[in-house]
Structure 1
Amino acid sequence: MNRDEIAAAVDAVVPGARADLERLVRIPSVWADPAHADDTEASAALVAELAGALGPESVEILRADGGAPAVVARWPAPEGQPTVLLYAHHDVQPTGGDELWTSPPFEPTERDGRLYGRGAADDKAGVLTHLAVLRAYDGRPPVGVTLFIEGEEESGSPTLPALLREHHDLLAADVIVIADAANPAVDVPALTTSLRGLVDLVVEVSVLEHPVHSGVYGGPIGDALTALVHTLASLHDEKGEVAVAGLRRNTGTDAAGVDVGEEQFRAEVGLLDGVELIGSGTVAERTTQAAAISVLGIDAPTVASSSNVLLPRARAVVSVRLAPGEDAEAARDLVADHLRAHVPWGSHIEVEPHLGLAEPFRLDTDGSAYDAARAAFAEAYGNAVVEMGIGGSIPFIAEFARTFPGAAVLVTGVGDPASRWHGIDESLSLEMFGTGARAEAFLLDELRRR
């Protein structure tokens, strides 16, 4: 097929792919929640069914170390052609509160050219982008294809290393296309070139053996929650700069990619009137090339259940995003030491790792696979490809690079700034969904030509 024929074939299959995306979004595959384990199994089964209908040599549901189900389907390479691994994940984040959504999170709903629903963008759109491309080629792609749809990415991919080891030969590829990132605009394609790392810590502050009356004893004795708040407040200075000494910040680099003005950024994230941005540097530098620290949760009585006692202990989860080039384990130690040094009033403090850690990563964008991607994506979108860092963390990218050191890793996706990944009212631009499928179909053809 020539490019016009490929584009027409993609356009013909996109409506069906959109319908199957809606089927997949209706399955609440929140693997992180044990209550949705069966839903995640059902999600994997549907992906396997959709892939199996396209005539692969094999399709399997695999897992390692009791992890989530992953789907692997293979179309062997024609003689002399490379093999491309197409990655996405079918698990999703919790909703964050169903009642906060404009429409039910697991009932896909179209509004103003966007499809709303949990996973509509992250990352079930990636799954159906890959399947749409395979459908456009009628199950006979011009290069070898291994479809790999993971089931626990939103939990940090804890069993992925074992899965890659156990099925190394099955998953080996010359090019790895990871459809789990975003573009700066609906009509501007991007290749992600760097990702921040991630470490989480649980901090517990203790001041008493048991609760005591706040009126009788308050004054000479502080409470644990106030001590914890003082400790957490030390993580930033008065301008909002991260105050942990030794954490890396990259300057003088173009890896941040496209910057957006402050007003556009405020509008995209929904920042309230009068709330200031924190830190310094461009928005892109702050979101992709510098450390960021957030408090994600606190264990303490709710307002409704509180009483007039001094709390003996309180704890919080501290999440730290790391600049590319940082060592995650060393950074975790720096933050832990800072917290211990800044707890007030001699309060007792314990700092422990929470979940796994994700190393930051920077991709090398030289080589024929990247040249092919730039050409294919620019043709599909009508705009040149932007190379950009993203502030999020995708731990498994480093794992793929370590396991398959000879493979070119391309990080793409069909999200945009309005997609609200992980947030309330997550959505997918239906225009970008079609364009992204066309771009990936062109990429396979470009790799065949090269």
Structure 2
Amino acid sequence: MALAVIVSVLVLTILSLARVNVIIAILAASLTAGIMNGETLISSLELLVSGMGDQARVALSYVLLGAFAVAISYSGITSMFVGYLLKVLKDKRTITVLIIAGVASLSQNVIPVHIAFIPILIPPLLHMFDNMQIDRRAVASALTFGLKAPYIMIPIGFGYIFHETIQQAMASNGVSISINTIAKSLLVPGLGMIAGLLFAVFITYRKRKEPSQAENFDDEPSTLLRNFTPERFNKKHGFTIISILVTLFIQAYWKDLILAALAGLTLMFIFKVVPFKKGDRIVNDGIAMMGTIAFVMLVAAGYANVLTKTQSVSALVDASSGYLGDSKAVIAFVLLLVGLVVTIGIGSSFATIPILAALFVPICVSAGFSAMAIAALIGTAGALGDAGSPASDSTLGPTSGLNADGKHNHIWDTCVPTFLHYNIPLFIFGLVAALIL
């Protein structure tokens, strides 16, 4: 049923904006979609639970990366880094945010660790952000830019996976295109994200912002939130760097985050950077930081399974096709709108691509779109909604770091700003790309 996707995404959005926990919001959206498609409450839950396994590896890798991040912080090397940044940046607020966007961009292509760097880098910098009166929404926008724009535009690392997914999905539906051509087609939508970042940094969040009070105070703050005392470089820091390099190598060579995080964590214990007796505390802090993200990803995969198995997405496109007509502009607009709705719900641009391609390619071919225009439409439609989705790791990752002290709201301080600054320009630039390519 076509209406099921729209109504369930509205349920997800409204509940999230009302500050209902994102896991409860996704569960409510999943049950809504299932029931509207004729499923019972029990069968809807079964579809949701059966789909959760699709993200089990990702969830486990995030938890292990969280523990590894805490271990790195325990070594004290992050305090050295923060101290260096304080000396270099001082009151350079705008440059600080742009540097964070640059570092985040490296996480997709050059050093493909995705969101794993956030719990290592961001929590120790929170005090500096407050002292400099940097609006954390600007930092969230910078982080989300770095997590999305590089894989959209550059076919290296996660970008290669994204572009290859588009290529394979189009080939499965009868349209052949090279990776390089896909990269060229997505440069225009990528420029939209650059425009969104500059607008956020230089206009929307340029003013100084007084730090807010934490919503919750713990008697015993986690390891990441303690005040670090700057240290001189010592052998513990050297062993920590070795552990990080081994983790990066394993991930880059074997493409396995679980093995990489486990290896890094194990080396931290073997080198005695973290005492064995602190093992429980390190793992517990890691779970506290990344466990919520991991579980949200699991539930979001279940929601995607409900939409897929009930044929809700295909029904939405079929219903939309009746209003498309012969105008390429109208067709591109409607297809991008469908991509936005679907991806906000599923929360993953990578997982959305095969679903959208199966529906988009026949419509676009019959309407006379070129292969490059089709690739631009599919890539943009998949990326749309990833920024701003409560269930996306592109928003959950920044929140995990920025809310380490309880002063940052996931929906209003991450999802809403990133939705406005990236989905709007992505939509406009993607529409232009589809019409000019």
* TM-score normalised by length of structure 2: 0.30
Q: Higher strand share goes to which structure?
A: 1
Q: Higher helix share goes to which structure?
A: 2
* TM-score normalised by length of structure 1: 0.29
- Which structure: larger Rg? 1
